[in-house]
C-alpha cells in the first residue's frame, strides 16, 4: 500500500470532463506526434499499439499540455516511467482495437503522493468507465482469469495481476444492464462490488481528469479503433 494514503486522500475529488479544451489544430498536432513516435509495444494478443510520449519530440505540445492541465488541477509533477536514457516519458499513446480491461494506474513507487491522471481522446468514438471504487496499492490489472494471475515475471512498468478487488468490496452483484451496455467484454463476476461513477463518452477536444486511485476500464464501445493519450501526475 502507498505510504502517504492520508495525503493522497486529501487530494481526491470527483472525476471531471473539460470540454472544448483543445481545438482541431491542436488535436491534429497530437495525432502528428503520435504518428512520428516510435512504437514501444505492439501487443497482438490484446491488439493494442503503445507509444511513449518522449521528451524533446515537441516542446510546443509539452508546454501546451502542461499549461492547460495546470489551469485545471493546479501545481503538479509528471509521474511517468523513464526511457532507456533515464529521460522522463511524458505520457502514453494507445491505439486500441479491443477494450482495455479493469485496472488502476496508481504508480510503481509507494513513496510517491500520486495525484491525477488525464485522458485526451484523439479519435471520436469510444468511452471510458470510471468506478467509485478506489485502490491504494501499485498499478494493477484486476482479473479473475487464472492464466493472467499466474503471470509473475513482469518487466519494469508492467502492472501486477490481482483478484484482490473481489475481496475488498462488498461483492454486491454488478448491474446487469450496465454490463450489457458498456462492459460486456468483462466477465460480470469480475465486476462484483463495483459501482460506476462516470461513463466518459469520448469527444474530440475534451479531456478527462480523475484520481489515480480509481478503478477504471474501457467500455466495449469501439468503432474499429480508438487512439488516446494518457498522462499521470504526482505531487
Question: What does the pLDDT read at residue 215?
Answer: 97
Neighbours of 223 (CB within 10 A): 9
Question: What does the pLDDT read at residue 144?
Answer: 86
Neighbours of 2 (CB within 10 A): 22
Beta strands in the chain, from DSSP E residues, in sequence order = 16-18, 41-43, 48-54, 77-78, 89-96, 103-104, 114-121, 127-134, 140-142, 160-162, 196-201, 207-211, 214-218, 226-234
Q: Are strands 89-96 and 48-54 parallel, antiparallel or unpaired?
A: antiparallel
| Alpha-carbon gap, residue 101 to 78, rounded angstroms | 24
Neighbours of 71 (CB within 10 A): 10
Closest CA to 217 of 145, 130, 92: 130
Helices (H), the chain: 5-10, 24-36, 59-73, 146-149, 165-168, 176-182
Question: What does the pLDDT read at residue 43?
Answer: 63
Q: What superfamily does domain 5-234 belong to in CATH?
A: Alpha-ketoglutarate-dependent dioxygenase AlkB-like (2.60.120.590)
**Is-contact 189 59, C-beta < 8 A?**
no
Q: Write the pLDDT tens digit of every residue in 130-160.
A: 999 999 999 999 988 888 888 777 765 678 8
| Alpha-carbon gap, residue 142 to 152, rounded angstroms | 14
Name the stretches of the chain with pLDDT < 70.
42-46, 82-84, 155-157
Q: Are strands 160-162 and 140-142 parallel, antiparallel or unpaired?
A: parallel
Q: Write the pLDDT tens digit of every residue in 30-51.
A: 999 999 998 877 665 567 888 9
Amino acid at each position: 500500500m502507498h505510504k502517504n494514503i492520508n495525503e493522497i486522500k486529501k487530494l481526491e475529488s470527483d472525476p471531471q470532463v473539460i470540454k472544448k479544451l483543445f481545438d482541431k489544430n491542436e488535436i491534429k498536432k497530437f495525432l502528428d506526434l503520435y504518428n512520428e513516435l516510435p512504437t514501444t509495444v505492439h501487443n497482438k494478443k490484446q491488439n493494442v499499439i503503445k507509444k511513449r510520449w518522449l521528451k524533446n519530440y515537441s516542446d510546443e505540445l509539452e508546454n501546451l499540455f502542461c499549461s492547460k492541465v495546470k489551469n485545471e488541477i493546479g501545481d503538479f509533477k509528471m509521474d511517468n516511467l523513464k526511457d532507456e536514457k533515464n529521460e522522463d516519458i511524458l505520457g502514453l499513446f494507445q491505439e486500441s482495437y479491443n477494450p482495455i480491461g479493469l485496472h488502476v494506474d496508481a504508480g510503481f513507487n509507494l513513496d510517491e503522493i500520486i495525484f491525477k491522471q488525464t485522458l485526451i481522446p484523439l479519435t471520436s468514438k469510444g468511452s471510458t468507465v470510471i468506478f467509485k471504487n478506489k485502490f491504494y496499492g501499485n498499478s494493477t490489472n484486476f482479473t479473475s482469469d487464472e492464466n493472467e494471475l499466474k503471470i509473475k515475471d513482469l518487466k519494469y512498468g508492467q502492472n501486477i495481476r490481482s483478484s484482490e478487488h473481489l475481496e475488498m468490496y462488498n461483492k454486491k452483484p454488478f448491474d446487469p444492464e450496465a454490463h450489457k451496455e458498456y462492459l460486456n467484454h468483462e466477465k460480470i463476476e469480475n465486476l462484483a462490488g463495483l459501482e460506476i461513477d462516470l461513463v466518459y463518452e469520448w469527444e474530440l477536444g475534451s479531456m478527462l481528469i480523475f484520481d489515480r486511485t480509481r478503478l477504471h476500464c474501457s467500455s466495449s464501445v469501439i468503432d474499429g479503433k480508438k487512439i488516446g493519450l494518457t498522462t499521470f501526475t504526482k505531487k
